[in-house]
Amino acid sequence: MELGKRIKAHRAQAGLTQDELAQRVFVSRQTVSNWENDKSYPDIKSLLLMSEIFGTSLDSFIKGDLEKMKQPVDPQEYARFEKESAIFAVLLILIIVAPLPLIMLLDVWGIAICACLFIIGMAFALRIEKYKKKFDIQTYKEIVAFTEGKSLSEIEKAREEGKRPYQKVLAGVLSGLLVIAVALVITAVAKLLGWHI
């Protein structure tokens, strides 16, 4: 996005420091720094205040960014992301469910197969993370929009960025509960089959 550069240029042209601009827009200096470094995007109120401070229209202030917001997601990129996500989902299920039966039935070879599945799964996880970073998709809403071949507006994106910390905690808790549930099911199945764990 070009908005960060424009904010910095307009601020310098107006002879304002980051602190001074922050005070006039009612945010912290760190927030202004994040805007200028494209780490976050100002909300609509801040955009309106800055356009008044800099004596420019809102249209011209965010024009380049609006065009970028309208660009649809490349269908080939989406297809690759979807395919690799499906492969990762299958690998994740295998990584969770397969170890006990493989180790019980194949002993050392079972451990080797589990290790291979884990390594391949992690490789796909890293690829998925690269896609998520490239397209800046982290929250459920961002992922759904991406899978529909759309992208969120920057205002919607800013709202979603605010949700990310909470969703990460929730995802961690749910993952832990899932692992516990799978472990309990595998233990119950193993006892039914007479395997000693």
Kindly tell me if the per-residue pLDDT of 15 is higher than 70: yes
Q: The CATH number of 3-70 is which of 1.10.260.40, 3.30.360.10, 1.10.3720.10, 3.20.20.70?
A: 1.10.260.40
Model pLDDT for residues 51-64, shown as the tens digit of each residue: 889 888 777 766 65
Model pLDDT for residues 96-154, shown as the tens digit of each residue: 888 878 888 888 898 899 899 989 988 988 888 887 777 767 666 666 676 666 666 66
Over residues 183-194, the mean pLDDT reads 78
Burial 174-191 (b: 16+ CB within 10 A, else e): eeeeeeeeeeeebeeeee
Predicted TM-score of the model (pTM): 0.47
**Cα–Cα–Cα angle for 59, 64, 69, nearest 5°?**
100
For the chain, which residues make up each domain, given as ranges? 3-70, 75-192
